[in-house]
Structures are given as structure tokens and as C-alpha cells.
């Protein structure tokens, strides 16, 4: 019932629009604005049925795939955090070793500590940059693929729908209406 009410509302809106642009013509004794609004409502219904619903299904499936990819990325981030904790622990061990070396040779110990500390920070920064770069790259690939798939599917469905639904008579009427509209516009100037 809700769906029927929605399509009824679409028909009423199309009818109001058609009345606003009505040229006063009639076919089979029925005003053109009625046919125009009925045609638009049926077109939107068919478009929703054969393009909108499959597109929504596709996007839901793609969203689930992205959620899985994000979950994998979170797991990789957790692994990176674990590795960072391990590196931090190793750094603490190195600092303890540095303290022992400091007793033996203060100058050599300080130089070694600075070198190890810098190397550890650089490795940590490089690792985190690699993880961030990988996440960014995969997110960009996913978005690009989603956009491409959506565009391909939309174009194919539109072509199929037009090939299936439009007859030569429909094309002729559309062309004539376009010419009439252009004449009306030109005549109004």
C-alpha cells in the first residue's frame, strides 16, 4: 500500500508539471498532459524496477566488500600497533644496554645510543608510512573500481532499457515534440 501511495504521489507531481507545460493538445479524446504524466510515471517505475533496484543491490554488495576491506585494514593497523609496541619494547631494551655500555665507555655508548634511537625512529616512521600508503592506495582503488562498475552498469542498463522499450513511433513522437518545443521557444523570442 505504501508503494502504491508513493507511485500515486509521483503521478500527481508529474500531472501538476504536465498541466503547467500543457499545450492544449488531445489524443484519443484525453488531454496530452494526462498522457505525459502517465508516461513519465511508467518510465520512472520501469527505471526504478530495472535499474534502481539492481543498482541498490550492487551497491549494497559493494559496500559489504568495502566493509570487509576496511576490517582487513583495521587488522593490519592492529598488527602495526603490535609491531610498534614490539619496537618500543626493543627500544627500552636498547636503552638498558646503552646504560651498561655507558659505564664501560661513556663516549662510545652515547654515540651508539643516538644511532640506534635514530635508526629505530626511522624504521618506525617508514613502517607507518608504508601502512598508511597501502591503506590510501587500497581505498583509492576501491573507490575507482566502484565508480567504474557503477558507470558501466548504469550505461548498460540504460542502453538495454532504451533498446527494449523505445519503438520507432516513440522516437518519431519524441523528435516531433522536441521540434514543437523548439518552435514554441523560437516563436516566444
pLDDT tens, position by position, 49-70: 787 788 888 889 999 999 999 9
Residue 111 is predicted with a pLDDT of 85
pTM of the model: 0.31
- Model confidence pLDDT, tens digit, residues 124-168: 889 889 989 999 989 988 888 888 888 888 878 777 776 777 777
Residue 113 is predicted with a pLDDT of 83
Distance CA 136, CA 125 (A): 16
State percent of the chain over pLDDT 90. Answer: 16
Which grid coordinates are listed for 77? 593497523
pLDDT at 1 over 60: no
Q: What is the mean pLDDT of the chain?
A: 82
pLDDT at 101 over 80: no
| Residue 118 exposed, middle or buried by CB count within 10 Å (0-12, 13-18, 19+) | exposed
Distant-in-sequence, close-in-space partners of 11: CB < 8 Å, separation ≥ 6: 37, 38, 41
Amino acid at each position: 500500500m505504501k508503494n502504491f501511495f508513493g507511485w500515486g504521489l509521483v503521478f500527481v507531481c508529474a500531472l501538476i508539471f504536465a498541466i503547467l507545460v500543457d499545450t492544449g493538445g488531445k489524443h484519443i479524446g484525453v488531454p496530452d498532459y494526462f498522457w505525459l504524466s502517465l508516461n513519465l510515471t511508467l518510465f520512472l517505475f520501469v527505471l526504478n524496477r530495472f535499474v534502481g533496484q539492481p543498482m541498490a543491490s550492487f551497491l549494497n554488495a559493494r559496500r559489504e566488500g568495502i566493509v570487509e576491506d576496511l576490517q582487513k585494514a583495521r587488522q593490519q593497523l592492529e598488527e602495526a600497533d603490535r609491531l610498534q609496541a614490539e619496537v618500543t619494547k626493543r627500544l627500552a631494551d636498547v636503552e638498558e644496554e646503552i646504560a651498561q655500555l655507558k659505564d664501560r665507555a661513556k663516549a662510545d655508548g652515547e654515540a651508539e645510543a643516538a644511532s640506534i634511537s635514530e635508526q629505530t625512529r626511522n624504521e618506525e616512521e617508514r613502517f607507518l608510512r608504508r601502512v598508511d600508503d597501502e591503506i590510501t592506495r587500497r581505498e583509492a582503488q576501491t573507490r575507482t573500481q566502484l565508480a567504474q562498475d557503477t558507470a558501466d552498469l548504469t550505461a548498460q542498463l540504460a542502453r538495454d532499457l532504451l533498446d527494449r522499450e523505445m519503438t520507432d513511433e516513440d522516437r518519431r513522437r519524441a523528435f516531433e515534440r522536441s521540434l514543437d518545443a523548439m518552435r514554441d521557444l523560437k516563436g516566444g523570442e
